[in-house]
């Protein structure tokens, strides 16, 4: 509780107010309200299909919400012009679930892609920058000239992380950062997420359903269920909460108020 009091005074880095998004008759987001404060690491947990990815895509500008507002540093970012959007995006970095590396480019070209687009830097400087960033995620310059197709899942995630931090972003997003990795590699990635965001002093927003990962990287955890944030609090508060939905999700139990039946689309 102490923590939440301390940060309440600042303006939020990201503010979501009353966010709605539907696909046909499927109402994915039904009024999401969430404040993320500068420098904190917030993790959104929730089952598959609860709207975690859609929330993230709305913040990134890959989707427009049907209603509601998104503010970044106090600036409204819904319905922006392309130029203004690109400026906002320059503040952000994103690690995609499958890393989403460009397979027509080498590892270093992937990492330096953002800086090469936004700043006028020479190829030599770009490569140097890429190798620096690769070192931050524990990769040597041997991988710089190979293509992403020949990397393992864990290596791809590392390169993806290097690319996400290459533009020195204020905000970094992580989409299921540990999905598809073995427990040890998951822990390595979790550690890297913590160290790299700390080093940049960035705000981090992660969506995941991996509780081990959430506990490790989160300052605060928010739970998304039925298109709304139903609970938010610190990791300590998570273990004490009596909220039946959160308890069921954290325990990973099939019995509880959360419907386990897969919803069939009509």
Partner 1 sequence: MKFIDLLGRFVFNFLLATGRFGLFTAQTIRYMFTPPFYYKQLLTQLIEIGFYSLPVVALTTLFAGMVIALQTYTGFSQFSSEGPVSLVVLISVTRELAPVMAGLMVAGRIGASMAAELGTMRVTEQIDALSTLSTNPIKYLIVPRVLAGILMLPVLVLIGDIIGICGGYLIGIYKLEFNATTYLVNTWTYLKTMDIVSGLTKAAVFGFIITILGCYNGYNSKGGAQGVGAATTNAVVSASILILIFNYILTELFFNA
Say whether residue 64 binds partner 1 (CB under 8 A): no
Question: 173 or 225: whose CB is closer to partner 1?
Answer: 173
Both tokens assigned to 199: 């080093």
37 vs 173, beta carbon nearer partner 1: 173
CB nearer partner 1, residue 84 or residue 146: 84
DSSP 266: -
| Residue 163 is a binding residue for partner 1 (CB under 8 A) | yes
Instruction: Report the residue from 65, 114, 177, 233 that binds partner 1 according to the rule CB under 8 A.
Output: 114
169, burial (CB in 10 Å: exposed 0-12, middle 13-18, buried 19+) = buried
Here the tokens at position 67 are 């209603």
Nearer to partner 1, 115 or 233 (CB): 115
Residue 197 engages partner 1 in binding (rule: CB under 8 A): no
Q: What's the closest the beta carbon of residue 146 comes to partner 1, in angstroms?
A: 18
Q: Which stretch binds partner 1 (CB under 8 A): 16-24, 69-77, 96-104, 209-217?
A: 96-104
> Site for partner 1 (CB under 8 A): which residue of 41, 50, 55, 89?
89
Please check whether residue 45 is in contact with residue 217, taking contact to mean a CB–CB distance below 8 angstroms.
Answer: no
Count the Cβ atoms, other than its own, within 10 Å of residue 83.
7
The first and second tokens of residue 264, run together, are: 């069939």
| Candidate list 80, 100, 194, 235; residue touching partner 1; CB under 8 A | 100
Quote the CA–CA distance of 66 and 45 in Å, as a whole number: 23
The residues, any chain, with a CB within 8 Å of residue 175's CB and separated by 6 or more, are 53, 56, 94, 95, 96, 97, 207
Cβ atoms within 10 Å of 22's Cβ, excluding its own: 15
Among positions 44-63, residues that touch partner 1 (CB under 8 A) are: 57, 60-62
What distance in Å separates the CA atoms of residue 181 and residue 35, rounded to the nearest whole number? 30
Answer yes or no whether residue 158 interacts with partner 1 by CB under 8 A: no
**Which listed residue (3, 20, 30, 90) binds partner 1 by CB under 8 A?**
90
Q: Does 97 contact partner 1 by CB under 8 A? A: yes
Q: Residue for token digits 């687009």?
A: 117
What are the residues binding partner 1 (CB under 8 A)? Answer: 57, 60-62, 82, 86-87, 89-90, 92-94, 96-98, 100-103, 113-114, 117-118, 163, 167
């Amino acid at each position: 509780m102490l923590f939440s009091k301390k940060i309440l005074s600042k303006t939020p880095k990201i503010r979501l107010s009353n966010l709605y998004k539907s696909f046909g008759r499927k109402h994915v987001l039904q009024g999401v309200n969430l404040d993320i404060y500068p420098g904190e690491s917030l993790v959104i947990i929730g089952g598959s299909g609860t709207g975690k990815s859609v929330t993230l895509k709305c913040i990134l500008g890959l989707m427009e919400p049907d209603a509601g507002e998104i503010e970044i540093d106090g600036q409204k970012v819904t319905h922006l012009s392309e130029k203004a959007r690109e400026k906002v995006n320059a503040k952000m970095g994103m690690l995609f679930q499958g890393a989403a590396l460009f397979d027509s480019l080498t590892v270093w070209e992937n990492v330096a892609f953002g800086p090469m687009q936004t700043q006028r830097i020479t190829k030599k400087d770009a490569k140097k920058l890429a190798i620096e960033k690769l070192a931050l995620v524990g990769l040597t310059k041997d991988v710089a000239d190979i293509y992403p197709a020949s990397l393992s899942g864990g290596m791809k995630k590392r390169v993806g992380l290097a690319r996400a931090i290459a533009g020195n972003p204020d905000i970094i997003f992580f989409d299921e950062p540990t999905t598809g990795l073995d427990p040890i590699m998951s822990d390595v990635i979790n550690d890297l997420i913590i160290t790299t965001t700390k080093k940049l002093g960035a705000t981090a927003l992660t969506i995941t359903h991996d509780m081990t990962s959430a506990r490790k990287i989160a300052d605060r955890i928010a739970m998304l269920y039925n298109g709304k944030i139903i609970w938010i609090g610190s990791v300590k508060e998570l273990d004490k909460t009596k909220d039946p939905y959160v308890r069921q999700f954290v325990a990973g139990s099939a019995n509880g108020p959360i419907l386990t039946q897969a919803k069939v689309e009509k």
